[in-house]
Amino acid sequence: MANPGSHTIVICRGYLDNLSDRLRVLMANVDILIVEDETPIREMLQMVLRQAGFEVHGAADTRQAAKHLSQRRPDLILLDWMLPGQSGIDWARRLRRDADFSDLPIILLTARGEEEDKVTGLDCADDYVTKPFSPRELIARINAVLRRFGKGEKPGIVNVGGIVLDPEKHQVAIDQRPLNLSPTEYRLLEFFLTHPDKVYSRTQLLDRVWGRDVYIEERTVDVHIRRLRRILAEFGRDAMIQTVRGFGYRFTARP
Ligand code: CA
């Protein structure tokens, strides 16, 4: 069997930058627990899944994970097979026998080779992913399992660069923290989030956000943009609204 310590997850930088941009319809408030003893891998997974809009917690072994479960129920567990102490597979079997957690979706992380053969057809996990894997593959598997369990995939949710718009709640949040927006700021941000990476003139923004029939000076757009930037600056996201000199503004997930 390959040494599990030797596995690395190769994440393409460009992919990370584009991740939340590409996955516009995302899980809202889906909570994932990662149980992985290798800190760099765990942290990388946390970063990737957070970027994809998930709420993520980490545990280094099944003892920590069990403690976490006693306080907070995740929507899915990403569970490494090879863990110090109790193995991931043994813990998964135990959870399956536990009335409180028998229906909790589990995806096993395995190393290529022997583990992979053994895990095929297992009934204690809902799916397994073999290391090394791409973030895209992992997120696709997670989404597939969540769909099977009728979780996540809330339609209408828009996520651009970690700014999450929930039209149903009429709310925009960053890092799970709702923004305090006036109705106009909400509409402006909503327009930007649903029309990223394109330049709009002040007149176009007035037409699209304020409405054609309203007479407002173009300067008003600048005032609201300034306010919006100030709000986004609290989260280090103000550079997402770009001024295009001589034309107008552009909202981008990749400032
Ligand atoms: Ca491990």
Task: Tell me the whole-structure pTM to 2 decimals.
Answer: 0.53
- The 10s digit of each residue's pLDDT in 133-188 is 888 889 888 988 887 777 754 557 788 888 888 888 889 999 889 999 999 999 99
43 CB-near residues (< 8 Å, 6+ apart): 58
Select the more confidently predicted residue: 217 or 17: 217
| 106-111 vs 127-131, strand pairing mode | parallel
CA of 48 to the centre of ligand 1 (A): 18
CA of 101 to the centre of ligand 1 (A): 22
pLDDT of 88 > 60? The answer is yes
The sign of the torsion formed by the CA atoms of 149, 154, 158, 163 equals negative
pLDDT at 195: 86
pLDDT of 192 > 50? The answer is yes
Q: pLDDT > 90: what percent of the chain?
A: 45
Question: How far is residue 125 from each of residues 12, 41, 91, 113, measured CA to CA in Å?
Answer: 28, 20, 11, 18
CA of 83 to the centre of ligand 1 (A): 5
Instruction: Give the integer Cα–Cα distance in Å for 119 and 137.
Output: 18
CA of 35 to the centre of ligand 1 (A): 9
Instruction: Give the integer Cα–Cα distance in Å for 180 and 220.
Output: 19
CA of 140 to the centre of ligand 1 (A): 22
Select the more confidently predicted residue: 62 or 54: 62
- Tokens coding 135: 């973030």
Residues 93/3/134/85 CA torsion (nearest 10 deg): 30
pLDDT at 249: 96
Select the more confidently predicted residue: 183 or 11: 183
- C-beta separation of 42 from 61 below 8 A: no
